[in-house]
Structure 1
Amino acid sequence: MTTRFTFTFAIFTALLFARCEPKTADASVSAEAINTPSSPRQRLEQGNERFYTGSPTHPNVSIGRLKTLAKEQHPFAVIISCSDSRAPDEIVFDQGLGDLFVIRTAGNVIADIGLGSIEYATDKLNVKYILVMGHQGCGAVKAFAEHLHPTNHINTILDTLINENEIKQIGKDSTHADYLTEVVKANVLHQMHKITHGTEAMARKVQQGEIVVQGAVYSIANGKVSFLTDEKRRR
């Protein structure tokens, strides 16, 4: 009788402590549940605010999160941005594994391979939101503005900028700093145009509101991302 009582009491005690013990599940899951907003843009804006105010949550960065993504992925946004080491998208937007489908090139320039990557994300992964993000102090833009002509394939990037109609419309009478800022914005708008008019299918989806394409500029000085969607399009 005593042995049976002792055994029963031990089981009861173990169950009691198990219920009271704090959960050790991935902290990023709870953070994500608390901070998930109603749209991809809001999710990016809120994540960026956490970053530039110095209070990032670093969601979805655990090995547990990685294991859940082993079979499939469901990113909520495509980000086209510059390869600059000071502008890592997951950090800038305080996102984690599986959250963003990122395409990075110097000068955030989109070519056929980039368009193919975007098509994959929208067609196969069902992503509905695309953001083109330039950044202040972009080396490719600065090289273009200062008429530098490096050798080899870097010239391909500069030639792309030279041929952008948005850039041609910027007044040459502005100060050098203002001109650089405007070229960065114009480059973003041009890449947006290339995406929305890359194929008839993409143009139709954007026109019908199935896919949203927006632009933004990231400040490497303070970490803040400013969206350009309210600015008048040049096209």
Structure 2
Amino acid sequence: MTQNSTPTPAQVIRELQEGHQRFQQAESIHPHATEARLHELEQGQAPHAAVLTCSDSRVAVELIFDSGFGDLFVIRNAGNSSTPGTLASVEYAVEALQVPVVLVMSHVGCGAVGAACTPEHLLTPTLMDHVGHIRNGLKGAGLTFEPASDLVHAYALHAEVTARELINSSVLLRERIKGGQLEVHAACFELHNLGINWLGVQHGA
């Protein structure tokens, strides 16, 4: 990803997919990973995408997309959920950094989504609130929480739900989308084969 140009959303998604393909095929080139690159960015950053993903230690975004310093604005929390802090971070990336793409990426095996689908688990009050938000979003999207098949579906569905929540909560995002300056995408990282299920452009309610 070059620092001087302003790519289109389609170009950014293609760059992400190409970087992921290199990673999946064990052909990563680890771009923009040097001290010199970091020094180039001392006066400012111009990432091409904001990526909201889970805090899970196995979801290392820069490695998954074979990117480096200054390429991605990464936002993480347990279960890649829409929270006030998350939305503020996304809006900062869109408004101040002018990213043309926001990618919400969940992952198979997410503990937060798993807990949302099995509410009998005992959690702290704070975790109960967080997981309850995820559960309510999935329920509103039609999930019935039947074992097995619904849990598998829930991991990807949650990325779509979160993307829609971000859009519905932000006038800024909706205006940029309407003006063609921004696309919000959803995806789900599959740990078992390192693949990504690209779920496409998302829209609000």
TM-score where L is the length of structure 2: 0.89
Give the C-alpha shift of residue 171 in structure 1. Answer: 3.9
**C-alpha separation between the residues in 1 aligned to 2:48 and 2:151?**
31
- The corresponding residue for 2:181 is 210
More strand by share: 2
**C-alpha separation between the residues in 2 aligned to 1:74 and 1:230?**
22
Aligned-pair identity in percent equals 29
Asked if 1:163 is matched to 2:97, the reply is: no
Asked if 1:72 is matched to 2:44, the reply is: yes
- The corresponding residue for 1:186 is 157
Give the C-alpha shift of residue 113 in structure 1. Answer: 1.0
- Per-residue CA shift, 1:76-128, capped at 9, x if unaligned? 00000000000010011110000000000000012111111111111111111
Give the C-alpha shift of residue 220 in structure 1. Answer: 1.1
Asked if 1:121 is matched to 2:93, the reply is: yes
Question: 1:217·1:226 contact (CA, 8 Å) conserved in 2?
Answer: yes
Give the C-alpha shift of residue 158 in structure 1. Answer: 0.8
User: Who wins on radius of gyration, i.e. which is larger?
Assistant: 1
- The corresponding residue for 1:60 is 32
The one-letter amino acid paired with 2:166 is I
**C-alpha separation between the residues in 2 aligned to 1:56 and 1:150?**
39
Q: Which runs of 5+ in 2 are unaligned?
A: 3-9
- The corresponding residue for 2:64 is 92
The one-letter amino acid paired with 1:209 is G
The structure-2 alpha-carbon separation of the partners of 1:75 and 1:82, relative to structure 1 and needing over 3 Å to count, comes to: same
Question: 2:184·2:201 contact (CA, 8 Å) conserved in 1?
Answer: no
The one-letter amino acid paired with 2:173 is M
The structure-2 alpha-carbon separation of the partners of 1:152 and 1:165, relative to structure 1 and needing over 3 Å to count, comes to: closer
Q: Which runs of 5+ in 1 are unaligned?
A: 1-27, 30-37
Give the C-alpha shift of residue 167 in structure 1. Answer: 5.1
- Over aligned residue pairs, what C-alpha RMSD do you find? 2.3
2:109 aligned to which of 137, 147, 169: 137
Give the C-alpha shift of residue 166 in structure 1. Answer: 5.3
**C-alpha separation between the residues in 1 aligned to 2:145 and 2:123?**
23
**Secondary structure of the residue that 1:87 maps to in structure 2?**
coil
**Secondary structure of the residue that 1:133 maps to in structure 2?**
strand
- The corresponding residue for 2:5 is none
Higher relative contact order (CA 8 A, sep 6+): 2
- The corresponding residue for 1:39 is 11
The structure-2 alpha-carbon separation of the partners of 1:172 and 1:163, relative to structure 1 and needing over 3 Å to count, comes to: closer
More helix by share: 1
**C-alpha separation between the residues in 2 aligned to 1:133 and 1:57?**
22
**Secondary structure of the residue that 1:217 maps to in structure 2?**
strand
2:167 aligned to which of 190, 196, 199: 196
- The corresponding residue for 2:78 is 106
**C-alpha separation between the residues in 2 aligned to 1:120 and 1:168?**
27
**Secondary structure of the residue that 2:173 maps to in structure 1?**
helix
